[in-house]
């Protein structure tokens, strides 16, 4: 069943055409990756799907309402003067969920011991984990993650990958953007490759790799991307 | 109601953990207390006539508090949530603008009540006069909260909220001080709530015969007009994070 879809969506900021006829769909319970270099239009797609921006043309569909969506963006929007727990309590009150679930979310992201730590004293990795805890607090049906592991150390990134997989197993649809092709290869069920606002390829990472790297033994989405666009990811 | 409570709790914790903003609630009554004490200090020589011609420090600082401190404060709280994109996540969670603004304004109103009562205590007013004076300050506080919220919505970030709110706050805060020495300024500022707060204090001190209800009517008229302006700005600009 389709949970998120876009059909022929275009978006421009002034003279800068960010999205040019983008079409794709995600299915319930899958990890869907949106790959592309910085400036490819990945965040704009999330913003349109979460109604932060409107598309100039085309159709968008998200199966659930905004209160069943979890969101993790580059701008984390945390309340810097409050503790980790207090940050989550704001949303606990809004979603009307019990305290036990808030504490459980903190434990899941490994911040149980840092519950009383003020947010402006957290490292980048801890902030990312807190944002993830906030995003999953209400057990959303669809989770949008914008570069969830960017600038994180490998151990923290691995922990977040584990959590993302657990969420998928719990029935959530995960929509993530990344420019880390290795991450996408190992984590995503299906991916879309975005370049200069256009989709250049989409499908299962394994199938894409086999299609373009037929002679190689290992999967390598990055070389596929370079073949398709003539450019790198950074 | 749940959402108002969520924002109220968040903002109350934010204010309590931010000494800079708490100081703003205390510094005005403290300065008023210190200035009054200095004027009454025996070693200094002030004749009765000199003291009579001086403005009342408590009412002057109360006016400054209602007009000057709260407008930039409320504007800055909203602008901070817009700038840091916190508002975006609140909206995604289903937070509507009205509960958000009620929560933010509610905290400022409650803390200002404490400040108003402190002003009441350090003034010479007692009995009904005490509560009339505190009520006057609260009317000014209400107007300032609405005005601050309007500026917060118009701002793109904290810097722009300060740039927008400070000139307005200075006119509303310092204007009534100047009006104590200049009748023309007093006439110009007559329709503004901070000036009326001074008129209330003058009445209670026996220096004015203007009817009290008139000042309160003007102050609440200000609240209503500012509320309409707020609604218009909100309808046009919304509360986007």
Whether residue A216 lies inside any domain: the answer is: yes
Query: What's the average model confidence in pLDDT over A206-217?
Result: 72
Query: What's the average model confidence in pLDDT over A174-181?
Result: 88
In terms of Cα–Cα distance, which of A60, A92, A8, A13 is closest to A175? A60
**Contact (CB<8Å) B93/A77:** no
Report how far residue B108's alpha carbon sits from residue B104's, in angstroms, rounded to the nearest whole number. Answer: 7
Q: Containing domain of residue A50, as a range?
A: 1-64+142-153+170-234
Same domain, A147 and A204: yes
Report how far residue A15's alpha carbon sits from residue B171's, in angstroms, rounded to the nearest whole number. Answer: 42
Same domain, A149 and A228: yes
pLDDT at A218 over 60: no
CB-nearest to A69 from B17, B90, B92 is B92
Tell me the nearest-neighbour CA distance from B65 into chain A, angstroms: 25
For residue A194, what are the β-bridge partners?
A: A199
Number of CB atoms found within 10 A of residue B63's CB:
32
Report which of residues A177 and B1 the model is more confident about.
A177
Longest dimension (CA), chain A: 55
**Contact (CB<8Å) B89/A77:** yes
Same domain, A133 and A218: no
CA dihedral for A158, A164, A169, A174, sign (positive or negative) = negative
Q: Is the ipTM of this complex over 0.85?
A: no
Query: What's the average model confidence in pLDDT over B29-37?
Result: 88
Q: Which residue of A has its CA nearest to B90?
A: A91
The answer to whether residue A160 neighbours chain B at the CB level (below 8 Å) is no
Contact present, A62 and A41 (Cβ < 8 Å)? no
Same domain, A146 and A224: yes
Domain count within chain A: 2
Contacts of B18 in chain A (CB under 8 A): 81
Same domain, A131 and A211: no
Among A64-78, A121-135, B71-85, B118-132, where is mean pLDDT lowest? Answer: B118-132
**Contact (CB<8Å) B90/A90:** yes
Same domain, A112 and A179: no
- What pLDDT does A92 receive? 94
pLDDT in tens, A73-91: 888 899 999 999 999 999 9
Phi, psi of A72 (to 5 degrees): -135, 110
pLDDT at A219 over 70: no
- What pLDDT does A142 receive? 93
pLDDT in tens, A7-36: 999 999 988 899 999 999 999 999 999 998
pTM for the predicted model, two decimal places:
0.82
The answer to whether residue A54 neighbours chain B at the CB level (below 8 Å) is no
Same domain, A228 and A121: no
- What pLDDT does B240 receive? 64
Q: Containing domain of residue B30, as a range?
A: 2-237
Same domain, A148 and A44: yes
Whether residue A161 lies inside any domain: the answer is: no
What token pair was written down for B106?
């509610």
- What pLDDT does A231 receive? 63
pLDDT at B15 over 90: no
**Contact (CB<8Å) B93/A78:** no
**Contact (CB<8Å) B88/A95:** no
Among A98-112, A137-151, A207-221, B90-104, where is mean pLDDT lowest? Answer: A207-221
Contact present, B241 and B85 (Cβ < 8 Å)? yes
pLDDT in tens, B193-213: 999 988 888 888 777 777 888
Same domain, A105 and A30: no
Report how far residue B56's alpha carbon sits from residue B31's, in angstroms, rounded to the nearest whole number. Answer: 12
* Mutate: best of B89, B95, B239, partner A, most A CBs <10 A: B89
Number of CB atoms found within 10 A of residue A116's CB:
9
Q: What is the CATH classification number for the domain harbouring A4?
A: 3.40.50.300
Of chain A, the percentage scoring pLDDT greater than 70 comes to 95
CA distances from B166 to A92, B69, B139 (A): 36, 9, 20
The answer to whether residue B96 neighbours chain A at the CB level (below 8 Å) is no
pLDDT at B84 over 70: yes
**Contact (CB<8Å) B6/A82:** no
Query: What's the average model confidence in pLDDT over B29-52?
Result: 76
Domain count within chain B: 1
Q: Which residue of A has its CA nearest to B240?
A: A52
For residue A5, what are the β-bridge partners?
A: A25, A61
Whether residue A165 lies inside any domain: the answer is: no
Among A228-232, B142-146, B166-170, B224-228, where is mean pLDDT lowest? Answer: A228-232
Rounded-to-5 percentages of helix, strand, coil across chain B:
80, 0, 20
In terms of Cα–Cα distance, which of B168, B165, B154 is closest to B72? B165
- What pLDDT does B43 receive? 62
Same domain, A174 and A233: yes
Same domain, A12 and A111: no
- What pLDDT does B201 receive? 81
In terms of Cα–Cα distance, which of B33, B10, B12 is closest to B111? B12
Beta-carbon contacts of A6 under 8 Å, excluding residues fewer than 6 positions away, are A22, A23, A24, A25, A45, A48, A49, A58, A59, A60, A61
Task: For chain B, give the mean pLDDT.
Answer: 86
Same domain, A232 and A191: yes
- What pLDDT does A153 receive? 81
Long-range contacts of A10-13 (CB under 8 A, 24+ apart): A10/A55, A10/A56, A10/A57, A10/A58, A11/A41, A11/A44, A11/A48, A11/A53, A11/A55, A11/A56, A11/A197, A12/A56
DSSP string, B173-223: HHHHHHHTT-HHHHHHHTTSHHHHHHHHHHHHTTS--S-HHHHHHHHHHHH
pLDDT at A228 over 80: no
**Contact (CB<8Å) A77/B88:** yes
Report how far residue B181's alpha carbon sits from residue B177's, in angstroms, rounded to the nearest whole number. Answer: 8
- What pLDDT does A212 receive? 77
Task: For chain A, give the mean pLDDT.
Answer: 87
The answer to whether residue A53 neighbours chain B at the CB level (below 8 Å) is no
Contact present, A176 and A32 (Cβ < 8 Å)? yes
Report how far residue B79's alpha carbon sits from residue B235's, in angstroms, rounded to the nearest whole number. Answer: 17
Length of chain B: 241
């Amino acid at each position: 069943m389709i949970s998120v879809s876009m059909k022929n969506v275009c978006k421009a900021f002034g003279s800068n055409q960010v999205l040019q006829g983008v079409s794709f769909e995600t299915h319930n319970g899958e990890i869907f990756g949106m790959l592309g270099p910085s400036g490819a239009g990945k965040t704009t797609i999330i913003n349109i799907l979460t109604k932060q921006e409107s598309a100039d043309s085309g159709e968008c569909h998200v199966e659930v309402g905004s209160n069943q969506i979890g969101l993790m963006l580059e701008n984390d929007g945390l309340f810097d003067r409050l503790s980790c727990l207090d940050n989550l309590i704001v949303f606990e009150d809004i979603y009307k969920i019990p305290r036990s679930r808030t504490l459980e979310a903190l434990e899941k992201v490994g911040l149980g011991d840092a519950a009383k730590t003020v947010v402006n004293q957290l490292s980048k990795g801890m902030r990312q984990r807190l944002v993830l805890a906030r995003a999953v607090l209400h057990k959303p049906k669809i989770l949008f993650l914008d570069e969830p592991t960017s600038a994180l150390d490998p151990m923290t990134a691995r922990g977040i990958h584990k959590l993302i997989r657990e969420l998928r197993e719990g029935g959530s649809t995960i929509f993530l953007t990344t420019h880390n092709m290795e991450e996408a290869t190992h984590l995503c069920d299906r991916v879309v490759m975005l370049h200069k606002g256009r989709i250049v390829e989409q499908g299962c990472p394994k199938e894409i790799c086999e299609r373009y790297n037929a002679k190689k033994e290992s999967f390598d989405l990055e070389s596929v991307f370079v073949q398709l666009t003539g450019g790198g990811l950074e | 109601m749940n959402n108002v409570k969520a924002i109220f709790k968040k903002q109350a914790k934010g204010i309590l953990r931010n000494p800079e903003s708490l100081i703003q609630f205390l510094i005005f009554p403290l300065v008023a207390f210190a200035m009054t004490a200095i004027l009454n200090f025996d070693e200094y020589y002030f004749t009765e006539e000199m003291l009579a011609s001086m403005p009342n420090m408590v009412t002057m600082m109360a006016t400054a508090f209602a007009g000057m401190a709260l407008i930039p404060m409320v504007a800055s709280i909203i602008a901070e949530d817009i700038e840091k994109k916190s508002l975006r996540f609140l909206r995604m969670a289903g937070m509507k603008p009205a509960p958000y603004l009620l929560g933010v304004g509610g905290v400022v109103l409650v803390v200002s009540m404490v400040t108003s009562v402190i002003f009441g205590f350090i003034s010479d007013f007692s009995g009904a006069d005490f509560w009339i004076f505190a009520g006057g300050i609260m009317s000014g506080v209400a107007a300032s909260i609405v005005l601050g919220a309007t500026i917060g919505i118009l701002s793109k970030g904290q810097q722009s909220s300060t740039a927008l709110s400070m000139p307005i706050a200075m006119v509303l805060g310092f204007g009534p001080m100047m009006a104590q020495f200049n009748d023309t300024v007093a006439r110009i500022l007559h329709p503004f709530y901070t000036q009326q707060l001074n008129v209330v204090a003058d009445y209670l001190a026996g220096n004015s015969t203007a009817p009290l209800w008139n000042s309160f009517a003007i102050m609440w008229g200000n609240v209503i007009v500012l509320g309409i302006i707020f609604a218009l700005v909100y309808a046009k600009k919304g509360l986007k994070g």
